[in-house]
């Protein structure tokens, strides 16, 4: 169990029309086994729906699983929907079929980590844990921690 993930709430979602979610479920289980409270929205959810669930569930991070090739558009739309709800500070991760040439563009949209199918689950979990630990330190009041 990762101390950085203990008590963290993470939403995993499948935006767009992609109908394959085995990878998202595997990542959800790995994050859960590492101590996170994981919520999975299921297939074919709109960016607006995903953002609303993220806000309603008060999650620390949002992971989008995208295999359709529409990752730039779907991340941008989801980020806009989060911003409209005052939640654009939320840590955002993306996994799926993401060409290396798009990683920097996704990071420019605020994505904290890009995960592809060739990555080890332990590395994905460690990356999410590091990002959330860094975010906790950045938000801590002066003199804390």
What CATH number is attached to the domain comprising 122?
A: 3.40.50.280
Whether the predicted pLDDT of 10 surpasses 80: yes
Residue 129 lies in a domain: yes
List pLDDT tens digits, range 127-143.
Answer: 999 999 877 656 555 55
User: Given this model, what pLDDT does residue 132 score?
Assistant: 92
pLDDT of res. 135: 72
Using a pLDDT cut of 90, give the percent of the chain over it. Answer: 86
**Structural domain that includes position 83:** 9-137
Asked, for residue 144, whether it belongs to a domain, the answer is: no
Query: Is 128 contained in some domain?
Result: yes
- In whole angstroms, how far apart are CA 22 and each of 16, 42, 68, 84, 107? 16, 11, 14, 30, 25
pLDDT in tens, 78-131: 999 999 999 999 999 999 999 999 999 999 999 999 999 899 999 999 999 999
| pLDDT value for 141 | 54
Q: What is the pairing mode between strands 111-116 and 37-40?
A: unpaired
- The structural domain count of the chain equals 1
Model confidence, pTM: 0.91
């Amino acid at each position: 169990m990762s101390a950085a993930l203990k008590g963290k709430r993470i939403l995993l979602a499948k935006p767009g029309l992609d109908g394959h979610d085995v990878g998202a479920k595997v990542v959800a289980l790995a994050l859960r086994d590492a101590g996170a409270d994981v919520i999975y929205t299921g297939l074919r959810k709109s960016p607006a729906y995903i953002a609303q669930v993220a806000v309603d569930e008060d999650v620390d991070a949002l992971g989008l699983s995208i295999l359709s090739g529409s990752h730039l558009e779907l991340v941008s739309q989801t980020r806009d929907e989060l911003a409209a709800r005052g939640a654009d500070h939320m840590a955002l991760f993306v996994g799926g079929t993401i060409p290396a040439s798009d990683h920097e563009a996704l990071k420019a949209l605020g994505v904290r980590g890009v995960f592809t199918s060739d990555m080890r689950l332990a590395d994905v979990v460690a990356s999410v844990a590091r990002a959330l630990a860094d975010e906790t330190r950045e938000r801590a009041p002066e003199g804390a921690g």
